[in-house]
């Protein structure tokens, strides 16, 4: 914490939190972390203007396509291994293999999504971040502002004005 300081404001209400965020934004503070017990639309809206869309969907797409391909590959390749005829059907019978390909599409897609979440959200996190407070999974909202130490007082000021119950450095 040599170059930056983290100022944490704890809020009990959504409207006060949003107000704090708007104020911080107006003052040019963009390096924020907001902790909420549940996703809150207003807070997201306040933040989302700055942030790109989550890249999780890319993981999903790649996973799903891999699943489709491996479904068809596995079925056709393994059927050709022995070339056994059943019920007079061709060795590579595509219609039944669609079922396998479909299931693998979903499976790989789902697993890739999980993977994407874990990677992008930097999970698992072994140690809680400095600004975290257990109340944030209960009924409190937290706004952590990362700023140069000299700007700390001004941030505190903004947070307190917005209606923070508690403001402190972390």
Residues 59-78 that bind another protein (CB under 8 A): 60, 64, 74-75, 78
123: how many CB neighbours lie within 10 A of its CB? 9
104 close to 70: Cβ distance less than 8 angstroms: yes
- Closest contact distance (angstroms) between CB of 101 and another protein is 10
169 close to 152: Cβ distance less than 8 angstroms: yes
Verify binding: residue 49, another protein, rule CB under 8 A.
no
Verify binding: residue 161, another protein, rule CB under 8 A.
no
Distance set, CA 30 to CA 47, 100, 145 (Å): 9, 47, 8
Binding part of the chain for another protein, among 2-10, 22-30, 106-114, 147-155 by CB under 8 A, reads 106-114
Verify binding: residue 103, another protein, rule CB under 8 A.
yes
Between 32 and 159, whose beta carbon lies closer to another protein? 32
CA distance 74 to 66: 12
- Closest contact distance (angstroms) between CB of 35 and another protein is 5
For another protein, how many residues bind (rule: CB under 8 A)? Answer: 75
138 close to 37: Cβ distance less than 8 angstroms: yes
């Amino acid at each position: 914490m040599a170059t930056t300081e983290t100022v944490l404001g704890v809020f009990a209400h959504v409207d006060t939190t949003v107000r704090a965020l708007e104020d911080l934004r107006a003052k040019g503070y963009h390096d924020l972390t907001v902790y909420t017990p549940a996703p809150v639309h207003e807070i997201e809206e306040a933040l989302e203007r700055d942030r790109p869309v989550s890249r999780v969907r890319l993981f999903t797409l790649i996973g799903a396509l891999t699943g489709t391909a491996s479904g068809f590959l596995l079925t056709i390749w393994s059927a050709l291994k022995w070339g056994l005829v059943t019920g007079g059907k061709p060795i590579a019978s595509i219609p039944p293999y669609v079922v396998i390909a479909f299931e693998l599409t979903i499976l790989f897609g789902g697993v890739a999504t999980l993977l994407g979440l874990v990677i992008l959200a930097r999970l698992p996190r072994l140690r809680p971040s400095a600004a975290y407070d257990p109340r944030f999974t209960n009924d409190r909202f937290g706004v952590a502002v990362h700023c140069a130490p000299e700007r700390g007082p001004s941030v505190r000021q903004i947070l307190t004005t917005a209606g923070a119950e508690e403001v402190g450095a972390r």
